[in-house]
Amino acid sequence: MGSDDSESDAESVVSSVASGISKASSTSSTTYLTGHKPGPWYRCSFRRIVLILLPLLSLLGGYGTWSLAASNGTFETLVGLLGQDDPKFPGTEDSLLMRYTGITALDRQLTILVAFFAPVVDIKNPGMNLFSIWGLGQFGAVWTLMVMESMRAGNKGKAVSFIGLVGLIMQNITLTITAPLWLFAHLLTSPVSKPFPGTHANSVLLVSPLDLKILPISVTLSYLIPSILMALPSPAYFTPETHQYLIALWQAFPLLTIVIHRILFSITNRVSSYFFPTDPHTRPPTPQGTSYLHNAKHVYRFVLALCIITHLPILLLTLFPASLLPSFSPLDPLASSPLLTLLAQTPSSVLIPTFPSTTQKASSLAEGVQTFLQWDIYVASTAFILWAILLYRNATTEKAIVDPNTSLPRYRELLAGEKRGEWGEEREWRKLGFKVVCWGLLAGPVGVVGRLLWERDSIVRLKIKQGL
Mean pLDDT, the chain, rounded, equals 83
Give the residue with greater pLDDT, 449 vs 281: 449
One-letter-per-residue 3-state SS of 331-352: CCHHHHCHHHHHHCCCHHHHCC
CB contact set of 167 (below 8 Å; sequence gap of 6+)? 143, 146, 253, 254, 255, 257, 258
Residue type, 399: K
C-beta of residue 180 within 8 angstroms of C-beta of residue 61: yes
Strands (DSSP E) along 288-384, which ranges?
none
The C-alpha atoms of residue 217 and residue 36 are separated, in whole angstroms, by: 49
Q: Return the sign of the alpha-carbon dihedral for residues 373, 377, 382, 383.
A: positive
Contact 180, 380 (CB under 8 A): yes
> What residues does each domain of the chain span?
44-73+119-275+286-325+335-466
- How confident is residue 204, by pLDDT bands cut at 50, 70 and 90? confident
| Residue 281, pLDDT score | 60
Q: Are 460 and 198 in contact (CB under 8 A)?
A: yes
Beta bridge partners of 88: 95
Least confident of 81-85, 109-113, 336-340: 336-340
Check residue 414 and give its pLDDT. Answer: 46
Residue 272 has pLDDT above 80, yes or no: yes
What's the pLDDT at 340?
Answer: 73
- At 226, is the pLDDT very low, low, confident or very high (cuts 50, 70, 90)? very high
Q: Which of 392, 439, 446, 414 is nearest to 46 (CA)?
A: 392
Contact 374, 120 (CB under 8 A): no
131-151: pLDDT as tens digits: 999 999 999 999 999 999 999
Angle formed by the axes of helices 126-150 and 365-396, to 10°? 40
Rounded (10°) CA dihedral 349, 63, 443, 187: 180
Q: 3-state secondary structure string, 139-198?
A: HHHHHHHHHHHHCCHHHCCCHHHCHHHHHHHHHHHCHHHHHHHHHHHHHHHCHHHCCCCH
**Quick one: pLDDT at residue 44?**
72
